[in-house]
Structure 1
Amino acid sequence: MEQSEHHNPHQVQLQIVTTSPIAIAAVTATASEKALSKLSVLTKFHAGYFRISLSLCGQALLWKTLSEPTTDASALRPVLRRLPSAAFVLLWSLAFLTLVALCLLYAARCLFRFGSVRAELRHHVGMNYLFAPWISWLLLLQSTPFLHPKTTCYLLLWCVFSIPILALDLKIYGQWLTRGKQFLSMVANPTSQITVIGNLVGARAAAQMGWKESALFMFSLGVTHYLVLFVTLYQRLQGSDSLPAMLRPVFFLFFAAPSMASLAWDSICSTFDIFCKMLFFLSLFLFASLLRRQATRVKWSRRRKKKDARFLERDITAWITC
């Protein structure tokens, strides 16, 4: 034994590793599961997520509006102007980056899940949220600190963001007028007011550029359909209450539409006249009505929980005594 080890001092060991078909299949299945998980994220992502960009861009526009110079000494604008301008730029940048990220995700959804986008376009709630990205871009354009409304770049961007809104108007309003299954009385819901807000936001941006005729066109289109929608939703016809519970916050669109109409008409006429005040007071009344309704609902739910708790305590006591 010692001699064999002495004569063969250098021994080379070769180990051949073969990958079994089962291991290859497992690796392939893992890769396919990762790809499917990424695609499932795109499937769950929908246009309703643009509510995030709507809120951020609306806050940026509000900040810019309040920071503009005014002759009213009793206004709160001088207080806001004392804040550093970097805060507004930071808010605008946050809104811009959020909107870009959402648009990229939705573009990927259009590429890999076009069937879901087509189904969303045919849905009576989902199709209204297709206005949200273009409204967000218009709000962001009006609140930008880097472009003046009279520049050519501003004009081109307004055209790029407004043309899809008009195209969606033709599709949705045409369905309401002609197709029997898409009558307004059957599909109207609070999210339908997003279509109105899109026209009003476009009208305000056009008025700031000096395009009064284009602003009047979009304003008249938005206000006319808002009146029809308001009456339809107020009557609560069949199908108008078909709104998921998770979308109940869209009821606040009831006062968002007249508020935006007030701002748009102010930009068109360059003065806050009687019509603007009428729209403002209407939005204020609708806001108070919604607050009262929500307070009543919260009070009713608390009362119901206390009642259920009393019934549960009585049942437990009866079960223990038995």
Structure 2
Amino acid sequence: MMEEIECKPPTQLIVEASINSTDHPEKNNSGEALSPSCSNILTKIHAGYFRISLSLGCQALLWKILTQPNGVSRDVLHVFSKLPSTACLLLWCLAALTHISLTLVYALRCYFQFDLVKAEFSHHIGVNYLYAPWISWLALLQSAPILLQNSSLLYMILCWTFIVPLAMLDIKIYGQWFTTEKRFLSVMANPTSLISVIGNLVAARAAAQMGWKESAVCMWSLGMVHYLVLFVTLYQRLSGQNSLPTILRPTFFLFFAAPSMGSLAWNSITGTFDTTSKMLFFFSLFLFVSL
């Protein structure tokens, strides 16, 4: 069984292998024909492309955190306060524009190429990238300029709109690890599984900012417990970069992204950069240097 799972190609290869011949224009659910160029674009734009908006959104969130007085020393705050606010705004606008564009294209893919979306959802690697759009929305919402107050009704509605799909994906993926024989964690775990952990931690930080401490602790504990399980599983199983396809090797950096996000989330929950936050920060720093 292990050999069968490991022989599965990465998501991008599955998507490209599903491209129909351009000699026959594809049709959507309504029977409308698609041009070959449009069909090729929708076929190639899979959920993995949301890594672009995810990275930009997290950079915008980091920039905003550095410019806010979150219990840091005055000297450090004085240095970061000199960062140009215009650059922060431009970075957020770039991240928002990129994510909106990818979302619109992927929405068209869901309509015209729904079979490929189902293939992603059923694939043990592709399903993890379905977390990325919702994480990106949460990161953009938390890093937004002073337009929405954390306690406003609109902010809460948007947060829960993006958190609920993450929780549903958690039930789907984590439930399969316990109940489905062919999808046990020891067989299906891969570095992209850490995206689900990051999603829970980003959701925990968003809930903490709204004042929902219990919900924040719930999401944080869910993310960190599964991070420990995934870390031990992957640490024992992965012998090196040769054990993964080339396209998945950058996902090794998710190992330190999860504890660093956990540190930020716990800081938002407790309101102070306490020992737990420091432990996660230094652990992520160690993993960053190691990788």
Structure 2 CA distance, aligned partners of 1:223 and 1:100?
29
Q: Structure 1 pair 140/262, CA: closer, same or farther in 2 (3 Å)?
A: same
Q: Deviations over 1:192-243 (max 9, x none)?
A: 00000000000001101111011011011111111111110011079x9864
The corresponding residue for 2:162 is 161
The corresponding residue for 1:271 is 272
**TM norm structure 2:** 0.85
Structure 2 CA distance, aligned partners of 1:176 and 1:152?
36
Q: Give 1:98's aligned amino acid.
A: T
Q: Structure 1 pair 275/30, CA: closer, same or farther in 2 (3 Å)?
A: closer
The corresponding residue for 1:65 is 65
The corresponding residue for 1:289 is 290
Structure 1 CA distance, aligned partners of 2:174 and 2:263?
23
RMSD, matched Cα = 2.1
Q: Deviations over 1:166-210 (max 9, x none)?
A: 000000011111111111111111100000000000000110111
Question: 2:67·2:83 contact (CA, 8 Å) conserved in 1?
Answer: no
Q: Structure 1 pair 257/31, CA: closer, same or farther in 2 (3 Å)?
A: closer
Structure 2 CA distance, aligned partners of 1:105 and 1:225?
32
Pair member with larger Rg:
1
Structure 1 CA distance, aligned partners of 2:24 and 2:180?
47
Superposed counterparts of 1:1-322, under 5 Å: 35-69=35-69, 72-75=73-76, 77-145=77-145, 146-236=147-237, 243-290=244-291
Structure 2 CA distance, aligned partners of 1:71 and 1:102?
36
Count of residue pairs brought into register by the alignment: 260
Unaligned runs of 5+ in 1: 1-28, 291-322
Structure 1 CA distance, aligned partners of 2:275 and 2:48?
35
The corresponding residue for 1:319 is none
Large movers: runs of 4+ above 4 Å: 29-34
Q: Deviations over 1:265-302 (max 9, x none)?
A: 11111111111111111111111110xxxxxxxxxxxx
Unaligned runs of 5+ in 2: 1-22, 27-32
Structure 2 CA distance, aligned partners of 1:217 and 1:31?
48
**TM norm structure 1:** 0.77
Greater relative CO, 1 or 2 (CA 8 Å, sep 6+): 2
Question: 1:189·1:242 contact (CA, 8 Å) conserved in 2?
Answer: no
Question: 2:170·2:196 contact (CA, 8 Å) conserved in 1?
Answer: yes
Question: 1:190·1:251 contact (CA, 8 Å) conserved in 2?
Answer: yes
Structure 2 CA distance, aligned partners of 1:242 and 1:132?
24
Question: How many angstroms does 1:30 deviate by?
Answer: 11
Q: Give 2:224's aligned amino acid.
A: V
The corresponding residue for 1:318 is none
Structure 1 CA distance, aligned partners of 2:89 and 2:280?
30
